Amino acid sequence: MGVPTLKDLLEEGVSGRGVLVRSDFNVPLDGTTITDPGRILASLPTLSALVDAGAKVIITAHLGRPKGEPDPKFSLAPVAERLGAELGRNVQLAGDVVGTDALARAEGLTDGDVLLLENVRFDPRETSKDETEREALAKALVELVGDDGAFVSDGFGVVHRKQASVYDVAKLLPHYAGKLVAAEVDVLSKLTHEVARPYAVVLGGSKVSDKLGVIEALAPKVDTLVIGGGMAFTFLAAQGHSVGNSLLQEDQIDTCKGLLEQFGDVIRLPVDVVVADKFAADAEAKTVSVTEIPEGWMGLDIGPESVKRFTAVLSGAETVFWNGPSGVFEFEKFASGTRGVAEAIAVTTKGGAFTVVGGGDSAAAVRTLGLPDSDFSHISTGGGASLEYLEGKELPGLKVLES
């Protein structure tokens, strides 16, 4: 990757040194219960290596979108508890980000101790557009690890953000890519350089606008581009079909028409959908052709014939990237499409294909549907970061590690 890594830091020696680690603990919560600990588990190799080497580990991370001030429902307390259980040691949680409690706890750390700072987004400077404000927070974070401290970037899900704990701290401390960030970049580089063909990309999710950049970047490079989820209805509308009350971005119809004209030979759309009379788990549902979506009904999943066709297309792929569910998988009635696509990708993995699940809702779907992680070559922890990397955008949190 062309940047110093955790291996380099460990060779230099970290015993007795403060090491600031930016992790990604933005896990889904049901109240205070973590429903998918994937991101916590992904952080363990880096954190365990530092703890075992005798570092005084101070972790900064965010959870949800608090508005620059403390909000109990976004506290990292559940994360500290789960992380401690996974590491097999007590993980202290500071009562603030860089305040008196964080300072006192940091000063009291001994070799191998772990301190998790409270949600870094409780401090408005973290996400500030003002460089001097971000730098002030970065300096306060650096103060916690001391003059001989180091910074390890291990939150791949945030490397596309120019934020204090991701970008600005790396300019103030010797910096290294953690195991997770290095692994993610290694995997994604395989999707952009010397890709084994046929190369198939499966995109889903709600909005075309969220995936437009990646569609435009990948459509010329792939052999097949499968589109499902809510975003498919804007493409179907672009083909002239009535989509009822399905999710539709009218301002994107012309863009979708252009994409279909230019890349119609690689884009694959659903041929049938599961429609509902309302957006609810107990909605009345029926399967119809995409040409016969009833007025007043909304499509919430792709249908069985679409799954069958997508499975056939994916069966010959040597490389598959999947980002975005094919339907509202959180409702059992509308989970069959996402399950079918995931199982089709799993079969290609077993056949020797290189398959990547692009984080976010796709990773959540894999776990919600009870599919083993081993059914895929790699499950990314960074949805938006993965997409921006594949679009060819410069990711500030990676770029800064090169300097």
Q: Could you give the C-alpha distances from 175 to 60, 67, 204, in angstroms and in order?
A: 15, 28, 35
Report whether 24 belongs to an annotated binding site. yes
Q: Nearest CA to 338 among 366, 360, 376, 314? A: 366
Angle at 303 between CA 350 and CA 268, to 5 degrees: 70
Q: Which of 112, 213, 384, 393 is catalytic?
A: 384
Report whether 56 belongs to an annotated binding site. no
* Sequence-separated (6 or more) residues with CB below 8 Å from residue 104: none
Report whether 330 belongs to an annotated binding site. yes
Contact present, 97 and 120 (Cβ < 8 Å): yes
Buried b (16+ CB within 10 A) or exposed e, 137-173: bbebbbbbbeeebbbbbbbbbbbbbbbbbbbbbbebb
- Annotated catalytic residue 39: yes
Report whether 340 belongs to an annotated binding site. no
Report whether 323 belongs to an annotated binding site. no
Contact present, 200 and 314 (Cβ < 8 Å): yes
Report whether 62 belongs to an annotated binding site. yes
**DSSP per-residue letters across 240-285:** T---TTS---GGGHHHHHHHHHHHTTTEE--SEEEEESSSSTT--E
Q: Which of 207, 221, 257, 399 is catalytic?
A: 207
Q: Which of 17, 22, 39, 162 is catalytic?
A: 39
Q: Which of 178, 204, 228, 360 is catalytic?
A: 360
Report whether 359 belongs to an annotated binding site. yes
| Unique residue bearing structure tokens 């600005």 | 168
**DSSP per-residue letters across 103-156:** HHHHHT--TT-EEEPS-GGGSTTTT-S-HHHHHHHHHHHHHHH-TT-EEEE--G
Backbone angles phi, psi at 330, to 5 degrees: -65, -25
Report whether 211 belongs to an annotated binding site. yes
| Unique residue bearing structure tokens 């910074």 | 151
Q: CB atoms < 10 A from the CB of 253, how many?
A: 17
Report whether 87 belongs to an annotated binding site. no
Report whether 39 belongs to an annotated binding site. yes
Report whether 230 belongs to an annotated binding site. no
Report whether 89 belongs to an annotated binding site. no
Residue 137 corresponds to which amino acid?
L
Report whether 360 belongs to an annotated binding site. yes
31: left (phi over 0), alpha (psi -120 to 50) or beta: left
Contact present, 169 and 20 (Cβ < 8 Å): yes
Report whether 339 belongs to an annotated binding site. no
Q: Which residues are annotated as a binding site for (2R)-3-phosphoglycerate?
A: 39, 121, 161
Q: Which residues are annotated as a binding site for substrate?
A: 24-26, 39, 62-65, 121, 161
Q: Which residues are annotated as a binding site for ATP?
A: 211, 299, 330, 359-362
Residues annotated catalytic, as ranges: 39, 207, 360, 384
Q: Which residues are annotated as a binding site?
A: 24-26, 39, 62-65, 121, 161, 211, 299, 330, 359-362
